[in-house]
Chains A and B, each alone.
Chain A
């Protein structure tokens, strides 16, 4: 029965049948071994190797793959594209979702309908979101592209780098607003009404209450969403890029995740692709650790 010393994350009433436990853990550990640990370790190993595209000769090259990456202008450009794209997408998403959540919190009639419609993009695949926006902004047939042409803007994401980046940012934002919106609405709903009522009695209007009371109180949620938006922008937008621009024109939308794929599967530069994977792993690790901090901070904010 219960052990003498308390182990963390173990129920007080528990079973002591190691063989059963091993059996229960087996499927998860086997799948993780095959599709998580071995690939991750291989990526790490491969990033220190240089192989010709046919895999005939392999050479250990220490950090050459990494130094080559940091010297390559292409990689620098890819980093900048990723940073701009992710920043713009995160800020836009959070700001729009914030305004919508504030409005949803205020209205009573039709609230359910608004929520239902605003949630729709959650169901839509990133690739399809990309395709929908690519059509709207298609310079030959798209209605928005046509509107832009009539007011004298020579819109063409196939040729113009800035246009392509704007297009993928819009598609990525449209797809992701619903996620931030769900969390913000839930966070606003969970605020203790007594605090807001007290502020109202003191003469604070709805906007003032939102900015001075609600916003600071939901700041842990905002922090969490900022991290999640970065994760989304860094890793989950592959499908949008591939469906809309394929990293073009001339690398203008070639974000880091897309470049890993391009170098690994199209250019067959495995060493460089692995080194890029390792760098991405480090950034993912940083983001996850930031996210764990959120869990701790949330405790402090609970009233």
Chain B
């Protein structure tokens, strides 16, 4: 940099090596434990060098954890959240930035109110909404006393019970996680920086709003979309609380939830070798994404705070 400071530079390298070592240590020991037999993994102290059972354990973990199915679920959920959130929020950001209509500011505040509260703070009521998404409609039916009217008009007694249960469905896993305006806010901020001349030119050429969106806004937003997609994919794959609550069927769980069931509790066989191997398998897809697309991830994160 500005001056030569060999001692300080050496110290900086030492700090970074130490930091990298602390980051890698848990992953390394997971790898060691994941490559031992069940007898070896219970030795005290744990060996420092890996054994030769990694592939055997990986196969055992893959079948025992039902990961063939759970990986498909995780992929569907992660991609669903990514695509769904980007699509929904780009459309609404487009409407907020490029359309003049009477309730624009109301819509704006309704959407951005959701930035204020993370999903975790309304766990129980959100669960009720997912267990029966038709609940608001049911209230309307009850309030208007439709059954009573029916009785008065036709003389038949009926009971109107609306049910739309999303437990153990992909939509139940995906939709509640799309319900936040973070991405909308990002796209809106980005749209506001796009030169007005582009829209003017498009209008003069007689482009419809949809044509303008597809041919101009969408290509301009590509880099923002990629950066955001990475963050959302990681977020979706790594979800824990929602899949835990919203799935009762083992075949509808996600990989992270499947992993949780492999962790030995006090009353189980202490198969830490299988558990740690499964932990590595489960973290592999997001790790590949981060390593391959690191530059985009950093851009996305830093942009999201602006």
A16 CB to nearest B CB, Å: 5
Of the listed stretches A5-13, A63-71, A78-86, name the one at the interface; the rest are far from the partner chain. A5-13
> Once the chains bind, are B122 and A31 in contact (CB under 8 Å)?
no
A25 to B260 Cα, complex, angstroms:
38
B73 CB to nearest A CB, Å: 14
- Residues 263-306 of B, flagged 1 when their CB comes within 8 A of A and 0 if not, give 10010001010011001001100110111001001100110010
B245 CB to nearest A CB, Å: 7
> Once the chains bind, are A36 and B29 in contact (CB under 8 Å)?
no
> Once the chains bind, are A31 and B175 in contact (CB under 8 Å)?
yes
Of the listed stretches B58-66, B107-115, B153-161, name the one at the interface; the rest are far from the partner chain. B107-115
A174 to B289 Cα, complex, angstroms:
20
The yes or no answer to B144 lying at the interface (CB within 8 A) is no
The yes or no answer to B206 lying at the interface (CB within 8 A) is no
- Nearest chain A residue, comparing its CB with the CB of B282: A128
> Once the chains bind, are B180 and A36 in contact (CB under 8 Å)?
yes
Report A-chain residues with C-beta under 8 Å of the C-beta of B89. Answer: 28
Question: Which residues of B110-129 are within 8 A (CB) of A?
Answer: 110-111, 113-118, 120-129
A231 to B121 Cα, complex, angstroms:
11
A170 CB to nearest B CB, Å: 10
Report A-chain residues with C-beta under 8 Å of the C-beta of B19. Answer: 96, 99-100, 103, 114, 118
- Residues 1-28 of B, flagged 1 when their CB comes within 8 A of A and 0 if not, give 1110100110111011001101111110
Of the listed stretches B49-57, B192-200, B218-226, name the one at the interface; the rest are far from the partner chain. B192-200
Which of A10, A38, A100, A265 sits near B104, CB closer than 8 Å? A10
A240 to B122 Cα, complex, angstroms:
19
B269 CB to nearest A CB, Å: 13
Report A-chain residues with C-beta under 8 Å of the C-beta of B9. Answer: 106-107
> Once the chains bind, are A117 and B97 in contact (CB under 8 Å)?
no
Which of B3, B133, B240 sits near A242, CB closer than 8 Å? B240
A15 to B46 Cα, complex, angstroms:
67
Report A-chain residues with C-beta under 8 Å of the C-beta of B297. Answer: 119, 122
The yes or no answer to B72 lying at the interface (CB within 8 A) is no
* B contact residues, range: 35 or more
A124 CB to nearest B CB, Å: 5
B198 CB to nearest A CB, Å: 8
Which of A35, A121, A182 sits near B23, CB closer than 8 Å? A121
A10 to B127 Cα, complex, angstroms:
36
> Once the chains bind, are A265 and B124 in contact (CB under 8 Å)?
yes
The yes or no answer to B237 lying at the interface (CB within 8 A) is yes
- Residues 121-133 of A, flagged 1 when their CB comes within 8 A of B and 0 if not, give 1111111110111
The yes or no answer to A104 lying at the interface (CB within 8 A) is yes
A28 to B25 Cα, complex, angstroms:
43
Most buried by A among B104, B200, B275, B287: B104
Report B-chain residues with C-beta under 8 Å of the C-beta of A116. Answer: 291, 294
A197 to B127 Cα, complex, angstroms:
56
- Nearest chain B residue, comparing its CB with the CB of A142: B46
| Interface SS, A side | helix
The yes or no answer to B253 lying at the interface (CB within 8 A) is no
Of the listed stretches A161-169, A211-219, A280-288, name the one at the interface; the rest are far from the partner chain. A280-288
Question: Given A107-B16, A265-B245: A35 and B179 within 8 A (CB)?
Answer: yes
- Nearest chain B residue, comparing its CB with the CB of A268: B124
Question: Given A119-B290, A284-B118: A27 and B179 within 8 A (CB)?
Answer: no
B130 CB to nearest A CB, Å: 8
Report A-chain residues with C-beta under 8 Å of the C-beta of B5. Answer: 106, 205-206
Which of A3, A123, A143, A273 sits near B124, CB closer than 8 Å? A273
> Once the chains bind, are B209 and A284 in contact (CB under 8 Å)?
no
Most buried by B among A33, A122, A174: A122
> Once the chains bind, are A28 and B111 in contact (CB under 8 Å)?
yes
Question: Given A34-B133, A36-B179: A261 and B91 within 8 A (CB)?
Answer: no
Given A20-B99, A31-B178, A100-B16, 6 other A-B residues pairs in contact with their CB atoms under 8 A: A11-B191, A104-B12, A106-B5, A107-B16, A125-B283, A141-B33
Q: Can you list 7 A-B contacts with CB-CB less than 8 angstroms, sorted by A residue number?
A: A16-B101, A25-B95, A31-B179, A36-B117, A39-B128, A114-B16, A135-B276
